[in-house]
């Protein structure tokens, strides 16, 4: 693996902690079980200490930040099943250096909006919410209404960015004092974990390439030429072509670091296809839609064949990832 990956790329993620509006109450659980005659182990009573609408409002910038982060990075760690059969989400994402400044500015703006909404709609209104809720709850469950200073501490937002470290260099860690056979096992484990993470990046990009190409193929397959009737025109718009071309740009930006022949082949095929599409539209992607909508389907078939070649080129990268994950 080209060491430029570790020299230039960074890891990032977001950790947000929030005070939930629903609090588990054993008293309500027991009362509900007694009233319905069900097993108490199946009853889960909760108290709503503030309005769910506030939760949705405050969570909006968090969801937007996560969506933006995923749109400009690639997953470094993957979601996986734990030993209890639950799902553990991967939370490390690989960030290219040319995106760092804009990424940091954008994530900061989301955090500031989250802080503004939190202060305006919850923190500053906490005493009012507390009085109103306790009236509705007949003065019960006061333990859930913590002081406002404590409430503020229950909310935190961290967007972290750190260097990408070559885990295979664990043998050179001067802190590691152990017999050589133990070190060898540690190194092998680190190398395998790192290879899995690299395969995750490659597999994620390949999945996106195949997904966008197949989406366009679907639109081509569904197209039925009807003279003068554009209501049934399923051909791709400019946005679809842009998404595909953006993926070729992404592969190019990672080319030296990842050095994956299959992705490189896929990117080259995307470039070739995009040249054809632009030629069809006289340099205008939006005009290509009209150029492909004629009664003669020769051009549509040519485009479809090239899209199929793109998915075939990217598929081996996905297969390698699946093998690492044991699928």
Q: Give the torsion sign (CA, 20, 24, 25, 31).
A: positive
* pLDDT tens sequence across 180-222: 676 667 667 666 767 777 777 788 889 999 999 999 999 999 8
- 217 Cβ neighbours under 8 A, 6+ residues apart: 304, 307, 308, 311
Intervals of the chain under pLDDT 50: 1, 80-88, 174, 324-327
DSSP string, 161-217: EEE---GGGGGG-TT----HHHHHHHHHHHHHHHHHHHHHHHHHHHHHHHHHHHHHH
Helix (H) or strand (E) holding 220: helix 180-222
Against a cut of 0.95, is the pTM above it?
Answer: no
Q: Give the torsion sign (CA, 158, 52, 117, 70).
A: positive
CA distances from 36 to 30, 31, 32, 33, 156 (A): 10, 9, 6, 5, 40
Domains and their CATH numbers in the chain = 4-165 (no CATH), 170-324 (1.20.120)
- Provide the pLDDT for residue 178: 59
Half-sphere exposure of 144 (CA within 13 A, CB side): 21
Helix (H) or strand (E) holding 46: strand 46-48
SS3 73: coil
Q: How many residues appear in the chain?
A: 327
- Provide the pLDDT for residue 45: 63
Asked if 223 and 197 count as a contact pair (C-beta separation under 8 A), the reply is no
- Provide the pLDDT for residue 4: 65
Helix (H) or strand (E) holding 81: strand 80-81
């Amino acid at each position: 693996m080209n060491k430029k990956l570790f020299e230039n790329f960074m890891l990032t993620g977001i950790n947000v902690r929030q005070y939930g509006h629903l609090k588990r109450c054993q008293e309500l659980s027991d009362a509900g079980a007694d009233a319905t005659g069900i097993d108490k182990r199946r009853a889960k009573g909760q108290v709503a200490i503030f309005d769910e609408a506030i939760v949705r409002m405050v969570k909006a910038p968090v969801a937007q930040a996560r969506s933006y982060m995923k749109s400009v990075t690639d997953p470094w760690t993957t979601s996986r099943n734990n030993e209890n059969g639950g799902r553990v989400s991967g939370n490390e994402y690989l960030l290219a250096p040319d995106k760092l400044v804009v990424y940091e500015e954008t994530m900061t703006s989301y955090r500031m909006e989250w802080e503004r909404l939190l202060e305006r709609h919850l923190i500053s209104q906490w005493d009012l919410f507390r009085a109103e809720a306790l009236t509705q709850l007949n003065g019960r469950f006061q333990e859930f209404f913590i002081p406002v200073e404590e409430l503020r501490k229950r909310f935190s937002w961290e967007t972290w960015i750190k260097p990408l470290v070559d885990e295979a260099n664990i043998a050179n860690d001067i802190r590691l004092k152990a017999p050589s056979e133990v070190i060898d096992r540690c190194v092998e484990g680190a190398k395998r974990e790192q290879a899995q993470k690299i395969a995750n990046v490659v597999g994620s990009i390949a999945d996106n390439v195949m997904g966008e190409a197949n989406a366009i193929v679907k639109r081509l397959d569904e197209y039925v030429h009807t003279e003068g009737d554009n209501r049934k025109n399923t051909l791709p718009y400019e946005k679809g072509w842009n998404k595909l071309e953006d993926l070729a740009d992404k592969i190019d930006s990672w080319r030296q670091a990842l050095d994956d022949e299959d992705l490189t082949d896929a990117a080259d095929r995307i470039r070739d296809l995009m040249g054809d599409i632009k030629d069809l539209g006289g340099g205008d992607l939006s005009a290509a839609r009209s150029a492909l909508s004629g009664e003669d389907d020769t051009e549509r078939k040519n485009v479809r064949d090239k899209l199929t070649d793109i998915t075939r080129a990217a598929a081996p990268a996905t297969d390698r990832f699946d093998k690492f994950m044991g699928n």
